[in-house]
Amino acid sequence: MHNRQFERLVYRMINKTLLIQHADVLVTMDGHRREIRDGGLFVRNGFVDQVGSSDQLPQNADEILDLSGHIVLPGLINTHHHFYQTLTRAVPAAQNSNLFNWLKTLYPIWARMTPQDIYISTKTALAELALSGCTTASDHLYLFPNGSSLDDEIAAAQEMGMRLHASRGSMSLGESQGGLPPDSVVDSEEFILRDSQRLIERYHDPEHGSMLQIVLAPCSPFSVSGELMRQSAKLAREYHVQLHTHLAETQDEEVFCMEKFGYRPAAYMQSLDWVGDDVWFAHSVHVNSDEIDMYAREKCGVAHCPNSNMRLGSGIAPIQDYLDAGVAIGIGVDGSASNDSSHMLAEARQAMLLARLRAGLAGASLSESDLPELFTARRALELATLGGARVLGREDIGSLEVGKCADFIAINLNKLGYAGALHDPLAAVLFCQPQQVDWSFVQGEAIVRKSQLVHVNIEELVTQHKQAAQRLLKKE
């Protein structure tokens, strides 16, 4: 019997229960978008068994938690990140550059990373994410210097107890071949494909409640060959794993694709068989209406990363247009060197604000009666939960409903930042200064308890991380 199946069987035999009671409001994100006053959950073996008002739920369980004074929400889902970039936040030489120059400054620094650096930075990024409400994270690791591998990241995530979609990224098109990255950080395509297959076979779990999935993710049109894109898609489809890459992030990329391939970025991906409901793209800022229709028709998802797009001056993704067309949209904090944080609630807030700004700019010439309704807090939260689940191809997370994974967060509403906003706690969570969560559960297990991470000593981690970052930035 497979290890994971064995674990599940043991878990079922244990028949562990958890009862959440008396949340001021429990936001389900179910089909009716129910928001339940004095709400609660009954969890059995890591899955939601019952959800409703506290007086309708069982009164006994192995663990009972009274969350009066709190709002309970489905755990947030991060659809794009580069955990390792926590090591290079706010690097002076890369602070004020656009994407291509930012990358060229950072590639040589990243080339010095070791397996231990990947491990420490993963823990750091996940700790930040967990405290900001994230329970499922997708990461995109695309360079593997000095013997590092995706295994280093996976080991750290497993110790943290978080749900991970680990993207096996890759770069194969070095400068000498007309790509952007230096030759020192690219790998051979043969090695990339062999390692991708190894990782899928070793780790990928497609089942309901899966804690770990592998994704194949050549980095971008300007850092891999078309052939690697094609071969990665073929391998992903053989194993039914998802595909992910950066696309249409900047004008520079559009010019690069037109000059090198004779296609705009989206058409280039179509030419490589890189469209479908198993594909999601990060950013997709520079798209026209035909391309948005193509995303909808082919069911490609988008990871919207508003902070990074603003930080690098890339542009404003047309999120409302995507949603109107029916495209699946999730939120991504993007790498920690272009944000420079991993705060999911802050990212959802920024998505709400940026969509409002875009509508405002577009509507400058409209009369007041023609102005569209502004993007709501509830819509932004939907992207960060249900939207993310859809982008990652998951039907078992993103809402609190019977049979779904018990991934949820709770935030104490008696905080300074919420003072005066409690007539609508859900809106307060998005409109007010983003806070940290006080409780977080993944598959029914606490990863944050009374505002503290369960599996991480933050002081020790920050010290280790600081040393690693200083070593990377030290000039030879």
269-328: which residues touch Zn ion (CB under 5 A)? none
Q: Which residue is nearest to Zn ion (CB)?
A: 334
Would you say 316 or 427 has its CB closer to Zn ion? 316
CB of 473 to Zn ion, least distance (A): 21
321-380: which residues touch Zn ion (CB under 5 A)? 334
- The size of the interface with Zn ion (CB under 5 A), counted in residues, is 1
Amino acid at 410: A
CB of 332 to Zn ion, least distance (A): 8
Alpha helices (H) in 299-424, listed in sequence order: 306-311, 319-325, 344-362, 377-382, 388-391
CB of 85 to Zn ion, least distance (A): 9
CB of 150 to Zn ion, least distance (A): 16
Separation CA 185–CA 182 (nearest Å):
6
117-136: which residues touch Zn ion (CB under 5 A)? none
Would you say 81 or 390 has its CB closer to Zn ion? 81
Would you say 246 or 264 has its CB closer to Zn ion? 246
Find all residues with CB under 8 Å of 283, minimum gap 6, and list them: 246, 247, 248, 249, 302, 303, 304, 305, 308, 309, 314, 317
Would you say 278 or 334 has its CB closer to Zn ion? 334
132-191: which residues touch Zn ion (CB under 5 A)? none
Amino acid at 437: V
Find all residues with CB under 8 Å of 72, minimum gap 6, and list them: 20, 23, 25, 26, 27, 39, 41, 400, 408, 409, 410
8-67: which residues touch Zn ion (CB under 5 A)? none
CB of 334 to Zn ion, least distance (A): 5
CB of 17 to Zn ion, least distance (A): 40
Residue 374 per-residue DSSP state:
P
Give the pair of three-digit tokens for residue 195: 């390692």
Would you say 152 or 334 has its CB closer to Zn ion? 334
Contact in structure between 174 and 159 (CB atoms under 8 Å): no
Would you say 223 or 385 has its CB closer to Zn ion? 223
Would you say 231 or 307 has its CB closer to Zn ion? 307
CB of 284 to Zn ion, least distance (A): 12
Give the pair of three-digit tokens for residue 445: 């297990």
Amino acid at 45: N
Q: Give how far the C-alpha of residue 3 lies from the chain's centroid of Cα atoms, to the nearest Å.
A: 27
Q: How far apart are the first and last CA of the chain?
A: 50
**Contact footprint for Zn ion (CB under 5 A):** 334
